[in-house]
Structures are given as structure tokens and as C-alpha cells.
Amino acid sequence: MTDCPNPEQDNSEFDDQFPPGTGPENKIEKVSALCSYGMRPHVMTGFLRQLLIGHFSDPQNIQEPRIRRHIEEIGTWQPSQNGLNSGGILIESITRWVPNMADKRPAVLIKRGDWQWVSRVIGDRSVENLYTGETEYTGFWEGSHTLFCLAANGAEAEFLSTEVVKFLILFSPTIREQLDLFKFMPSRVGGVGEVQEVIQGYAVPITVTYMAEEAWSLQPYVPRLKRVVFKASDLLSG
């Protein structure tokens, strides 16, 4: 997720480190434009899905050797015309997932958790302009998403969850920067458990917590001073 070297710049320092055509490149675009209206639950769900799709679209991105070999066998994430997985590892929002989609292949299901409002100051008021009457407000949304790492057996679910949580930890500084978050970090990795909806299926939940600022302002129709009305008689001296 780091910026690519500028092709117009001198990149000779990279020639000795990587063979021709194999240098590192940025495969994930910046997503700050998604948050032009502030962070929202569905934006975070879509971002986590795209982030994981980018990671599991190339076996060379995967650190865990057992997961890498499995992905090479079954194939990487593959899109279909309706936007769902057509093969390979399954990465999907839990609201779009049905048990028959699993097909005993590894999967990462994304579920939104609770969002809680955190006030920064009393009344959330930060700045007030006494001349125009405009008042700025600010506060924070503290939320969470849970990533369920599913696999046909418990050991593979453990390996898959380790791959996901390590990836999120390594890129958490860049994610915080690009999404303009005050906090983003995997905070909890649950124990492996059997999934009732899938025959011989196991899952490990990973909870990701984050905090995003919400800022807005209210502007009166007219400045405060325009509300003051003088009559000519009021200004005449007795």
C-alpha cells in the first residue's frame, strides 16, 4: 500500500535489489475519497473486503506457507459478473453470504459490529464564530468489524486467521493515514470454533476496532448582527 516510485525519477537504486519486471508496486489505490462524507459502516465493510481481496489475489502476498500452498491449489479470489466469488478463496460480507457458497473452501466473512458515539467536549461544540453565528461541532465514532476466518478444519482456520491478523497489523499505520482514522488495529483474536451452518467447518473471529472523527457545522441564514433592528427614533437624543 506504499506509494509507487515515480517512473520519471531515477530508480537505479532498485535495479540491484529486484530482477527486471519484478519490482514492488502499489496494487491498492488510495481510498480517502470514500470518506468525503465521513466514515460510515458500509464504507468500512467495503474497504476491508477490497483490502483482503487485494491481498489474496496473489499467492506471493501470503506469508503463511500452508495458506499460500492451499491458495495456489484452489486458486486466488476470482470475481463473477454479480460481484460475488466465482472460485478460489471466498471473501464476502456476511450479509451476502449463504452456507452453500462455502463449498469447503477457505473464506473470510466480514460482519459489522456496534458503533458508539464518543463526545470530545460537552455538547460536541468545538468552535463558534460570534460574528457569523456559524458553530462547528466534532465527535468520534468508535466502531468494530469482525472477520470470521473459515476453513474445513481447525488447523487451517488458525493459519488463515494468523495470515489475516498479521496483514492488518503490518498495514495498520497506512490504513489509519489513508482513511484519516484516529485508531485502527486488530484488538482481539477469538478461539477456534465449529460452524454449525457448514459441515465440518471451523472459524476464528478477528475483531478490528477503529475510531473516526465526525465533524460538521451549522450556519444561520443571517449573521447575528443582522438580527439587531434599530429605529430612527431610538437613535435620536431627547
Q: Are 106 and 124 in contact (CB under 8 A)?
A: no
Block mean pLDDT (10 aa), the chain, length 238: 40 45 50 64 91 89 87 72 63 80 78 92 79 83 95 90 94 90 94 75 94 86 63 63
What are the chain's domains? 30-125+141-214 (3.30.2000)
- Could you please report the per-residue DSSP string of 17-58? TS-TT------S---GGGGTT---HHHHHHHHHHHHHHHHTS
Amino acid in position 50: Q
pLDDT score for 194: 84
Any idea what the Cα angle at residue 42 is, between residues 107 and 118, rounded to 5°? 115
- pTM strictly above 0.85: no
pLDDT at 198: 58
* Beta bridge mates, 54: none
User: How many angstroms from the chain centroid is the CA of residue 81?
Assistant: 24
